[in-house]
């Protein structure tokens, strides 16, 4: 099986379905209560993004992007395993563990909302906003050919949901996934403008370096938990 | 290859960081047989200092100024060489100081590795690709900020985020410079937005004070001085190649207001500061505003002023940091027992005054040059308003410094009276 055979098999996903798949996986990353589910969605999002990249890049180069993305997922997966997916150590008391956990409820004036519902609401609103923006001729992505109009949805959704995830997440790994959404969204737009090999290689290096930095921060946060536990 | 400046600046720091890591690993393995004072942290600082000094020496001898990799040229001109000679010297000094204060040594390996992408950022042609190296450097610096600190990770993360957010602006500005096209913002404005993000200008100042508070004090002169100077060198590379961008009204007004408000905000935060340990971060914010404003000055005048402001900032932060380390948990005035604490108090206060750019301090030269050149850089009424903002910021900083010193002195007198 060659790359081209695989692309033929996935032809039904090319174009608009891939843009929706990228946007929906981004929503899953924002809403997912468990980092493992979010990481799975990130891996799926890289696959969807590659189906969009092949419309602009040589398929062999687009597959390199997929490999880099999945390598990022691998780095995050190993870090997640080492840091127990951001959960507090088991030897903390219930009160101490509660201080490290994301609050389950959010108070909005007189009302109390479940945190996941607020996230889902914000993610849904952001997706709708991206979809609406993508249909506006006044904010059509500059220099994007008309036959690639679906890129508008993917780019706006990934950029906006990436920013939302970076703002909402309290764990380095989760926030890092927001950074990767943002980077993928921008790369989808930029690949249409600049297709130089050096730029492509450096963008791959940037993704891997950011993954390492995110992993480092996740480990540091875990160390903080361990240190806190040891002091107690 | 060792006589090639670009090769040395790319490969040298990475190899140096690997050597430091190996030395530390070896020291860990041989820990039982090493004398008591050869602890891991001191060894890290010592190895880092020797390597940074060695790279400095090799760079002074380097003859070749160009290195072509995969068709892209890395060019080390005289400005770049002087810049990195200064950065390596500063690093050697900072690493040497970590041998005295070993608890500060966590940042050595990652900060040495960060020099390579920083150098690539300044040297690569076309300039656009430099932005990607800036993110690589930011990733290494994020690790340096967090190294040895098992506390709050938010500041290091925010620093990485603002650099990632700046990347699209840089890349689009570079692309527009090469292929002018209809775009909502012009290239100059995109570059201004990117500069505000990476230089910690208003409204993206949220990472500066937490970062300055959370990181190792000896890393501050590097991150907020040397690294920002390298970023400014990168920005001036673009502006010197395209002087029309500096004259763009959007570029001028965005940077003018961002720099002015950053300085004012720093002054206001300093004026309301109650803790002597928090004050330098606010004064630093004020000084960051001045750094942004140097981009408004045309041609080499802007670069020379930036060097003056940023070199003084590095040294001021070094003095504040060393002073703070000598003081320990004691405030900088009042009942200072012991010579080292008195010296620490003096260094801390002088460093703070220097961050404010007052006369007879290190920061005065750059600040004076900036104040003299800003009215001529245009702006009319808004130029006068900008000077007003800066003076208000400096007055706020001075008020805050005076209040902290006064409170410390009162505390000391109280303690003396009680004894």
Q: For residues B173-200, b (16+ Cβ closer than 10 Å) or e, as one string?
A: bbbbbeeeeeeeebbbbbbbbbbbbbbb
Closest C-alpha among A227, A222, A232 to residue A82? A222
> Which residues of chain B make contact with A209, given a CB cutoff of 8 A?
135-136, 139-140
Q: Tell me whether strands A111-114 and A105-108 are parallel, antiparallel or unpaired.
A: antiparallel
> Residue A56 carries which DSSP code?
T
Q: Which residue is closest to B169 within chain A, CA to CA?
A: A186
Spatial distance between the Cα atoms of A52 and A141, rounded to a whole number of angstroms: 15
Over residues A103-123, the mean pLDDT reads 84
Residue A72 reports pLDDT greater than 80: yes
* A223 at interface of B, judged by CB pairs closer than 8 A: yes
CA atoms within 13 A on the CB side of B244: 3
Of A225 and B129, the one with more pLDDT: B129
* A44 at interface of B, judged by CB pairs closer than 8 A: no
**Contact check, Cβ <8 Å, A198/B181:** no
Over residues B107-134, the mean pLDDT reads 95
Find all residues with CB under 8 Å of B25, minimum gap 6, and list them.
Answer: none
Over residues B117-142, the mean pLDDT reads 95
Spatial distance between the Cα atoms of B365 and B266, rounded to a whole number of angstroms: 20
pLDDT of residue B418: 58
Of B332 and A173, the one with more pLDDT: A173
The residue ranges of every structural domain in chain B are 1-125, 126-418
Find all residues with CB under 8 Å of A132, minimum gap 6, and list them.
Answer: none
Do B52 and B91 touch, CB atoms closer than 8 A?
A: yes
> Which residues of chain B make contact with A220, given a CB cutoff of 8 A?
146, 149-150, 153
pLDDT of residue A226: 60
Spatial distance between the Cα atoms of B337 and B335, rounded to a whole number of angstroms: 6
**Contact check, Cβ <8 Å, B146/A217:** yes
Q: What percent of chain B has pLDDT over 70?
A: 92
Give the ipTM. Answer: 0.92
CA distances from A218 to A76, B143, B211, B281, B387 (A): 9, 11, 17, 26, 43
Interface probe for B, chosen from A158, A189, A220, A228 (most Cβ of B below 10 Å), is A220
> Which residues of chain A make contact with B181, given a CB cutoff of 8 A?
142-143
Over residues B23-48, the mean pLDDT reads 78
Spatial distance between the Cα atoms of A89 and A225, rounded to a whole number of angstroms: 7
Q: What is the largest CA-CA distance in chain B?
A: 75
pLDDT of residue A145: 84
Q: In chain A, positions 153-192, which contact chain B (CB-CB < 8 Å)?
A: 166, 172, 175, 179, 182-183, 186, 190
Q: How high is the mean pLDDT of chain A?
A: 89
pLDDT of residue B158: 94
pLDDT tens string A124-157: 999 999 999 999 988 888 878 888 889 999 999 9
Do B288 and B267 touch, CB atoms closer than 8 A?
A: no
Over residues A85-98, the mean pLDDT reads 70
Interface probe for A, chosen from B71, B144, B156, B160 (most Cβ of A below 10 Å), is B160
Other C-beta atoms within 10 Å of A203: how many? 22
Nearest-neighbour CA in chain B from A186: distance (Å): 7
Spatial distance between the Cα atoms of A206 and A185, rounded to a whole number of angstroms: 14
Spatial distance between the Cα atoms of A84 and B409, rounded to a whole number of angstroms: 49
Residue count (chain B) = 419
pLDDT of residue A24: 97
Q: Helix (H, G, I), strand (E, B), or coil: what is residue B419?
A: coil
pLDDT tens string B395-417: 999 999 998 888 766 655 555 56
Closest C-alpha among B371, B197, B231, B362 to residue B297? B371
State the DSSP H helix or E strand holding residue A107, giving kind and residue range, or none if neither: strand A105-108
Using pLDDT thresholds of 50, 70 and 90, give the confidence band for residue B339: confident
State the DSSP H helix or E strand holding residue A62, giving kind and residue range, or none if neither: helix A59-82
> Which residues of chain A make contact with B143, given a CB cutoff of 8 A?
212-213, 216
**Contact check, Cβ <8 Å, B143/A197:** no
Residue A79 reports pLDDT greater than 70: yes
Q: What percent of chain A has pLDDT over 70?
A: 90
Q: How high is the mean pLDDT of chain B?
A: 89
Spatial distance between the Cα atoms of B161 and B167, rounded to a whole number of angstroms: 10
Spatial distance between the Cα atoms of B139 and B145, rounded to a whole number of angstroms: 10
Residue B231 reports pLDDT greater than 70: yes
Query: What value, to the nearest 5°, has the Cα angle with vertex B170 and ends B166 and B174?
Result: 170
Residue count (chain A) = 232
* pTM greater than 0.90: yes
Q: Which of A142, A205, A217 sits opposite B157 (nearest CB)?
A: A217
Spatial distance between the Cα atoms of B275 and B113, rounded to a whole number of angstroms: 34
> Which residues of chain B make contact with A143, given a CB cutoff of 8 A?
181
Do A29 and A177 touch, CB atoms closer than 8 A?
A: yes
Using pLDDT thresholds of 50, 70 and 90, give the confidence band for residue A216: very high
pLDDT of residue A228: 56
- Would you state the structure tokens that stand for residue B1, as one six-digit string? 């290859």
Nearest-neighbour CA in chain B from A91: distance (Å): 18
Query: How far is Cα of residue A34 from the mean position of the Cα atoms in its chain?
Result: 14
First to last CA, chain B: 67
pLDDT of residue A173: 94
- Would you state the structure tokens that stand for residue B376, as one six-digit string? 């001529």
pLDDT tens string B346-384: 999 999 999 999 999 999 999 999 998 888 776 677 778
Q: Which of A142, A190, A194 sits opposite B183 (nearest CB)?
A: A142
Spatial distance between the Cα atoms of B219 and B231, rounded to a whole number of angstroms: 17
> Which residues of chain A make contact with B155, given a CB cutoff of 8 A?
none
pLDDT of residue B336: 62
- Would you state the structure tokens that stand for residue B397, as one six-digit string? 């900083």
Over residues A91-99, the mean pLDDT reads 65
CA atoms within 13 A on the CB side of B307: 13
Query: Which residues lie across from A177 on neighbouring strands?
Result: none
């Amino acid at each position: 099986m060659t790359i081209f055979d695989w692309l033929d098999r996935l032809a039904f996903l090319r174009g608009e379905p891939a843009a929706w798949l990228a946007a929906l996986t981004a929503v899953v990353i924002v809403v997912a209560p468990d980092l493992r589910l979010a990481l799975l969605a990130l891996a799926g999002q890289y696959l969807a993004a590659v189906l969009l990249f092949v419309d602009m890049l040589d398929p062999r180069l687009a597959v390199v992007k997929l490999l880099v993305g999945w390598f990022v997922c691998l780095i995050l997966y190993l870090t997640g395993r080492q840091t127990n997916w951001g959960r507090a150590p088991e030897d903390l008391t219930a009160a101490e563990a509660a201080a490290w956990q994301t609050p389950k409820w959010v108070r909005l004036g007189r009302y109390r909302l479940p945190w996941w519902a607020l996230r889902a609401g914000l993610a849904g609103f952001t997706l709708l906003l991206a979809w609406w923006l993508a249909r506006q001729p006044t904010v059509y992505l500059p220099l994007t050919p008309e036959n690639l109009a679906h890129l508008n949805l993917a780019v706006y959704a990934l950029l906006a949901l990436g920013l939302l995830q970076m703002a909402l997440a309290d764990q380095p790994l989760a926030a890092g996934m927001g950074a990767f959404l943002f980077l993928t969204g921008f790369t989808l737009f930029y690949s249409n403008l600049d297709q130089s090999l050096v730029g492509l290689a450096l963008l791959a290096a940037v993704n891997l370096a950011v993954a390492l930095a995110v992993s480092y921060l996740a480990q540091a946060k875990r160390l903080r938990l361990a240190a806190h536990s040891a002091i107690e | 290859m060792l006589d090639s400046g670009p090769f040395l600046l790319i490969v040298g720091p990475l190899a140096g960081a690997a050597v430091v890591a190996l030395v530390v690993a070896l020291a860990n393995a041989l820990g039982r047989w090493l004398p008591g004072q050869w602890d891991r942290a001191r060894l890290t600082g010592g190895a880092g200092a020797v390597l940074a000094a060695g790279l400095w020496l090799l760079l002074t001898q380097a003859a070749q100024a160009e290195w072509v990799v995969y068709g892209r040229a890395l060019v080390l001109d005289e400005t770049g060489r002087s810049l990195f000679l200064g950065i390596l010297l500063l690093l050697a000094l900072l690493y040497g100081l970590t041998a005295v204060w070993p608890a500060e040594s966590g940042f050595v390996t990652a900060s040495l590795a960060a020099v390579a992408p920083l150098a690539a950022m300044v040297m690569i042609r076309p300039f656009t690709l430099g932005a990607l190296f800036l993110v690589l450097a930011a990733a290494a610096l994020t690790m340096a900020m967090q190294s040895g600190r098992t506390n709050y990770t938010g500041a290091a993360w925010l620093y990485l985020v603002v650099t990632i957010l700046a990347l699209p602006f840089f890349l689009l500005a570079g692309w527009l410079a090469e292929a002018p096209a209809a775009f909502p913002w012009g290239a100059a404005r995109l570059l201004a937005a990117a500069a505000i993000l990476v230089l910690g200008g208003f409204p993206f100042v949220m990472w500066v004070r937490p970062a300055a508070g959370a990181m190792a004090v000896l890393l501050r002169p590097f991150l907020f001085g040397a690294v920002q100077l390298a970023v400014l060198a990168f920005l001036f590379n673009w502006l010197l190649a395209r002087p029309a961008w500096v004259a763009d009204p959007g570029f001028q007004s965005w940077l003018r207001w961002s720099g002015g408000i950053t300085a004012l905000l720093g002054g206001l935060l300093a004026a309301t500061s109650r803790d002597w340990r928090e004050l330098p971060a606010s004064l630093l914010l004020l000084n960051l505003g001045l750094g942004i404003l140097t981009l408004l000055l045309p041609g080499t005048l802007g670069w020379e002023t930036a060097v003056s402001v940023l070199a003084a900032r590095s040294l001021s932060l070094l003095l504040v940091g060393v002073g703070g380390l000598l003081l320990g948990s004691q405030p900088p005035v009042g009942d200072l027992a012991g010579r080292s604490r008195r010296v620490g108090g003096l260094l801390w206060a002088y460093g703070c005054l220097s961050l404010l750019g007052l006369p007879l301090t290190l920061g005065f030269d750059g600040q004076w040059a900036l104040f003299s050149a800003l009215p001529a850089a245009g702006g009319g009424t808004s130029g006068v308003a900008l000077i007003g903002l800066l003076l208000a910021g400096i007055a706020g900083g001075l008020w805050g410094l005076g209040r902290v010193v006064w409170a410390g002195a009162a505390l000391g007198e109280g303690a003396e009276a009680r004894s």
